[in-house]
Amino acid sequence: MNCKSIEELIFLYKELNSTERALVDKHIIGCASCKELLLQTNHQHQLVSKVAEIPVLSANYTLMKSRIMKGIEPEPRITLLDKILLRFEHRWLQSTMGIVSIILLGFFASEVFSVDDLRYTNKHQANAPTLNTQLFFQTYKKRRESPKTISLYDQTKKGDFKISKN
């Protein structure tokens, strides 16, 4: 047999039956590279069996389990609302925001339900001119009835609208 087919059997040496082992042992006597490969493979098997005998510490087990589960579970989606609420984790900040909100609601309520604003007051300036509406409508009718259209500017210029001061 050639070295390539023997190398495949060397990796499975412990699982081989007696005739296949005898075939590998016969080849190893004449081939130094396959003999070295068998020694390395046996050494690796011994190391793995020693590591398997070491007890697993519970802290390492828990850490390893959490890392595995973190890799398996999908990460939760964080919404914009969650991001905003995460900013307000501190109790003092939440309390301050609540107090400020209550104060602002008080100011708003005082503005909306102010007694002075609910009363109707007839406030006007004493020197402000007021339009005589009766005279305005009479002049408007004349303007509509006349064949020659006169602008409002011309009528006020001529003094058709009497502006009275009360």
114 φ, ψ (degrees, to nearest 5): -70, 130
Per-position b or e across 126-138, b if 16+ CB within 10 A of its CB: eeeeeeeeeebee
Residue 128 has pLDDT above 70, yes or no: no
Residue 7: exposure state from Cβ atoms within 10 A (0-12, 13-18, ≥19) = middle
Residue 31 has pLDDT above 60, yes or no: yes
**Which of the two residues, 31 and 75, has the higher pLDDT score?**
31
Cα angle: 88, vertex 92, 97; to 5 degrees: 65
Please give the pLDDT value at position 127. Answer: 60
Question: Which pLDDT tens digit goes with each residue over 35-58?
Answer: 999 999 989 888 888 877 777 666
Which DSSP category does 166 fall into?
A: -
Residue 163 has pLDDT above 60, yes or no: no
**Which of the two residues, 135 and 10, has the higher pLDDT score?**
10
CA distance 53 to 56: 9
State both tokens at 16: 């081989």
Please give the pLDDT value at position 152. Answer: 65
pTM for the predicted model, two decimal places = 0.35
**Which of the two residues, 70 and 158, has the higher pLDDT score?**
70
Question: Which pLDDT tens digit goes with each residue over 70-126?
Answer: 777 677 777 887 777 777 666 777 788 889 999 999 988 887 776 565 555 555 555
Which DSSP category does 164 fall into?
A: E
Residue 160's CB: how many other CB atoms inside 10 A?
17
- Tell me the average pLDDT across 140-160: 68
**Which of the two residues, 64 and 74, has the higher pLDDT score?**
64
Question: Which pLDDT tens digit goes with each residue over 4-15?
Answer: 888 888 888 888
**Which of the two residues, 8 and 162, has the higher pLDDT score?**
8
